[in-house]
Structure 1
Amino acid sequence: MIQLQSIVKQFKSKNGVFNAVDHVDIQVKKGEIHGVIGYSGAGKSTLIRCVNLLERPTSGKVIINGVDLTNASIEQLQQSRQKIGMIFQHFNLLKTATVYDNIAIPLKLLGYSRQDVEAKVTKYANIVGLSDKLASYPNQLSGGQKQRVAIARALSQEPEILLSDEATSALDPETTDSILDLLLEINEQLGITILLITHEMNVIQKICDYVYVLEKGKLVEHNTSIDLFTKPQHPTTQKFLNTISQRNLSDSLIEQLNLTGAVIRLTFVGESTGKPLIADVANHFNIQPNILAANIIELKNGIVGNIVVHINGTPSEINAITKYLTNNGVQIDMLGGTTNE
């Protein structure tokens, strides 16, 4: 569906030429939701604008449904763009136009009949929950409602792909959740493939099947959501995960606690999240693990739990406990502490 092959986008500055996007490869299958996450300046917006050639890559290929847009004719590019909808952080609505007219703009530009325009506007306003707001103006709407108008406008051309450029970053948490629920519904009911960029890990957590992590234009890590949340490899990914879950304790805190034994992070996935394994360890090994931090994260395709525990035992006891937990599907990471032998 979407293939980005070794995409490079260069810009000139007073210090010379720099790569805003540096040899990035992405592949999104039909019907999936993929997310690109990175901090400010990582190259996310530039990358997503390369997908529909709002930014033309300096090198590399953009292939949509088998068509190489970077080498396509103007006519082929226009045809492909009609199947790619896009929503933005700041909505891009006309202030002097009603909700109806904002949704209708691309349809009128494409020459649809008045009857077809009315049918499509009505259909997609209903899908995004704005049937009663068609006569309203943007200044009469909340931020979430404005984004719903923008989503309806993007859907009005009945695209196969929806690009989301930080579509929730200007919204409060509750409104963000409602927009993410809407995107999930659109994906599931209409079968639209979604590629989004964000700097918010909770967005990735809630709706993405697959994740790409960008840093300074480079793709530093990519994986399924489950694997990324359970086995993050790159420091940037680990830093993002710490914004939504207490996966680590600081070295200074561990030192202040003056713990003997070991401080261990236990990561539970799938079935292991429902097992009373901490209680089993206490009963089986006659050791009382001290829980220092814990959380559970609900992803689109599964559940991940993290528990940081202190185990005051000998090295042999700790080895036996970690082996027992590993055999029960728990991922073990040693965070610190000292042994008492």
Structure 2
Amino acid sequence: MIQLQNITKQFQTKSGIVRAVDDINLHVEKGEIHGVIGYSGAGKSTLIRCVNLLERPTSGNVQIDGVDLTKLSESELRKTRQKIGMIFQGFNLLKTATVYENVAIPLRLLGYSKKEVATRVDKYLTIVGLTDRQQSYPSQLSGGQKQRVAIARALSQEPEILLSDEATSALDPETTDSILDLLLKINAELGITILLITHEMNVIQKICDQVTVLENGKVVEQGSAINLFTKPAHKTTQKFLNTISQRTLAPSLIEHLNLSGAVTRLTFVGESTGNPLITEAALQFNVKPNILTANIIELKNGVVGNIVTHINGEQADVQKALQFFQASGVITEVLGGTSV
């Protein structure tokens, strides 16, 4: 569906050339929700604007359904862009136009008939839940409602792809959840492929199938959401995960508590999440697990449980318990004390 091949984007500044996006490859399957996450300055916004050529890459190819956008004429590119909707952090609504007009005006500019404009505006304002606010102005709307108008406007051209540029970062947590629920609904019911950028790990957690992690314009990690939440390889991914889940204890705390035996992070995924494995280990191997911190993360396509536990006992028994966890499908990482 979306194929970015060796995308690089450079900017000339007073201090020299800045490479905002550096040789990025990214593939998004049809019907997928793909999240790109990174800290400020990672190159996220530049990358997503390269997808519809609002920023033309310095080098590389942007393919949509096998068509390289970088090789299209201006008229061909305008036509192709109608397949790509986009929503922004700042909503980009016309302040002097009603909700109805904000959705209708782009359709009129594209030459749709009055009847078709009315049909589409009604349809997509219904989908986003704003049929009763058609004659309201942006100043009369909450932030979440403004974003819903922006989503309806993007959907009104009936795109195959929806790009989301930090669409929830200006919203409070409750409103963010409602917008994410709406994006899930759009993806499921309309089959629209969604590529979003964010610096919020809870966005990735709730709606994404696949994830790309950026740092300094480069891809540092890619994979399914469930793999990144269970086995984050890069330190940047690990930092993001720590914002929503206490996956570890500081070495100074382990030392302060004077914990002997194994301080271990156990990551449960799939069938292992529903089994009483810690209780079984205590009974079978004469160890005394003490849970120090624990949480469950619900992803779009699965559940991940993290437990940091202090396993006390004879070294041989502790090792047997750790081997038992591993054999049961639990991802095991010793943070201090005895190792396997």
Q: TM-score range by the shorter chain?
A: over 0.9
Equivalence for 1:215: 215
The within-5 A match list for 1:252-291 is 252-291=252-291
Deviations 1:79-130 (A, max 9, x none): 1100000000010001110000001121011011111100000000000000
Cα deviation for residue 314 of structure 1 reads 2.9
- Paired amino acid for 2:161: I
Aligned partner of 1:36: which letter?
A: V
Alignment check: 8 A CA contact 1:254 1:337 kept: no
Q: TM-score scaled to structure 2, two decimals? A: 0.98
Paired residues for 1:128-147 under 5 Å: 128-147=128-147
- Does the Cα contact within 8 Å between 2:315 and 2:338 map onto a contact in 1? no
TM-score (norm 1): 0.98
Amino acid at match of 1:70: T
SS state at 2:189 partner: helix
What corresponds to 1:90 in structure 2?
A: 90
- Per the alignment, residue 123 of structure 1 pairs with 123
Task: Please name the residue that 1:148 is paired with.
Answer: 148
* Mean Cα deviation higher: 285-294 or 156-165: 285-294
Runs ≥4 in structure 1, deviation > 4 angstroms? none
Give RMSD over aligned pairs. Answer: 0.9
- Stretch moving more, 44-53 or 281-290: 281-290
Establish whether residue 333 from structure 1 lines up as the match of residue 333 from structure 2: yes
Gaps of 5+ in 2: none
Aligned residue number for residue 9 of structure 1: 9
Match of 1:66 in 2: 66
Task: State the Cα distance separating 1:338 from its structure 2 match.
Answer: 5.7
Question: What is the number of residues matched between the two proteins?
Answer: 339
Paired residues of 1:267 and 1:332 also in contact (CA < 8 A) = yes
Specify the SS of the correspondent of 1:146.
Answer: helix
- Tell me how far apart the structure 2 counterparts of residues 243 and 287 of structure 1 sit (CA, whole Å): 31
Aligned residue number for residue 43 of structure 1: 43
Q: Give the Cα separation in 2 of the matches to 1:15 and 1:315.
A: 58
Shift of 1:184: 0.3
**What is the Cα deviation at residue 313 of structure 1?**
2.2
Q: Residue 197 of structure 1 aligns to which amino acid in structure 2?
A: I
What SS does the aligned partner of 1:289 have? strand
| % identity of equivalent residues | 72
Contact 2:289/2:310 (CA < 8 Å) preserved in 1?
Answer: yes
| Greater alpha carbon shift after TM alignment, 109-118 vs 10-19 | 10-19
Q: Is the 8 A contact 2:288 2:313 kept in 1?
A: no
Q: Which moved more, 1:35-44 or 1:71-80?
A: 71-80
Q: Distance in 2 between matches of 1:121 and 1:323?
A: 59
Q: For residues 242-261 of structure 1, what are the structure 2 equivalents within 5 Å? A: 242-261=242-261
Instruction: Tell me if the contact between 2:287 and 2:314 (Cα under 8 Å) persists in the aligned partners.
Output: no
Residue 311 (structure 1) aligned with residue 311 (structure 2) = yes
Amino acid at match of 1:281: A
The answer to whether the 8 A contact 1:52-1:81 is kept is yes
Report the Cα distance in structure 2 between the residues aligned to 1:284 and 1:13, rounded to whole angstroms: 65
Report the residue type matching 1:19 in the other structure.
R
Classify the secondary structure of the residue corresponding to 2:332: strand
Asked whether the 8 Å contact 1:259–1:338 carries over to 2, the reply is no
Tell me the amino acid that sits aligned with residue 79 of structure 2.
Q
Residues 1:106 and 2:129 aligned together: no
Instruction: Tell me how far 1:2 sits from its aligned partner.
Output: 0.3
Q: Secondary structure at the match of 2:288?
A: coil
CA contact (8 A) 1:162 1:193 kept: yes
Return the alpha-carbon distance in structure 1 between the equivalents of residues 105 and 234 of structure 2.
Answer: 43
Q: CA shift at 1:287, angstroms?
A: 1.8
Q: CA deviation at 1:289?
A: 0.2
Corresponding residue of 1:195? 195
Q: Does 1:78 align with 2:78?
A: yes
